Amino acid sequence: MRLSSLILALGLLAAAPHAGAVIIGADMSAGAVPTTTGTGLSGSYYKFGVPVTSMGQAIQLMSAASGPTATFTTAAVCYPNCNVSTVPDASTTLSGFLGNNASGLTYTVPPSQIPTAIDHSAMTLTGYIAIGQAGTYNFNLGSDDGAQLSIANQVVIADNALHSFAINSGSATFTAAGLYAITIQYFENSGYTSLELWGSDSLGNCTLGRCNNTLANNPFYLTVPGATAAPEPEALATFLSGLAAFAWVRRRNPNRCPWAI
């Protein structure tokens, strides 16, 4: 077999969907792969007054909450580190759990109400992940207790139960390179706690997590770079009112300079 044919065959094999992999089409992409360094994921932390025993319950409690207990930005999902280990939540604050992988931690409750331990809690991380080339990517989600990974609104890994540290894996086949929405949800009931995400491409090359736990190699983005936000309704109303006022002045003063209002 010629070398060119071999290279083509290997490329087609790498891009082919794997059995059981979630298929994520190019139409699900939010944009092209950015040329700028990643900005991280947006984190929302929720502290509850009741035990949390499943991911379904955690999602329901977060949805019903008036808002998060704290917010932060995270560069990597490696809590407390990227060494597949855990920490006891009985003596661990949220800042201690997040470690050096998060910044801008801000509580939305009064200082006197800031919780110390992170038991009976949940969190959601949202943003975008850059996929450099088409193919099947393998993701691993280690957690204590449960966690869920969704990409482009497709569930890749679902772990609904209470348990000690365990690793769950899932695959996603991307038909095109691009920037894709990502959501990671996690809950902790009590005892030891941990959350870690890492992954590799179809050739086994590490693409996120332990191999590039630095800001310089961050594949996560808070927003789509260069995206133009739609005008807020209030701003649009103000703009239209301004146009109406301008037209009224022009009718009253047809001989004046159009910018001399």
How many domains does the structure of the chain reveal? 2
Same domain as 237, residue 216: no
User: 135-172, pLDDT tens digit by residue?
Assistant: 999 999 999 999 999 999 999 999 999 999 899 999 99
74 is a domain residue: yes
Domain that includes residue 110, residue range: 3-221
Task: Report residue 115's pLDDT band, with 50, 70 and 90 as the boundaries.
Answer: confident
Same domain as 258, residue 160: no
**Contacts (Cβ under 8 Å, ≥6 apart) of 107:** 69, 70, 114
Average pLDDT value for the chain: 80
Check: CB of residue 33 under 8 Å from CB of residue 219.
no
Task: Report residue 18's pLDDT band, with 50, 70 and 90 as the boundaries.
Answer: low
Please give the model's pTM, rounded to 2 decimal places.
0.79
- DSSP string covering 16-32, please? SPPTTPEEE-GGG--BS
User: 76-99, pLDDT tens digit by residue?
Assistant: 898 887 776 666 666 688 998 998
Element holding 205 (H helix, E strand): none
Task: Report residue 253's pLDDT band, with 50, 70 and 90 as the boundaries.
Answer: very low
71 is a domain residue: yes
Phi-psi region of 120 (alpha: psi -120 to 50; beta: other; left: phi over 0): left
**Contacts (Cβ under 8 Å, ≥6 apart) of 181:** 30, 126, 127, 128, 151, 152, 153
Tell me the C-alpha distance between 209 and 202, whole Å.
16
210 is a domain residue: yes
Same domain as 77, residue 7: yes
Report pLDDT for 89: 67
23 is a domain residue: yes
Report pLDDT for 26: 97
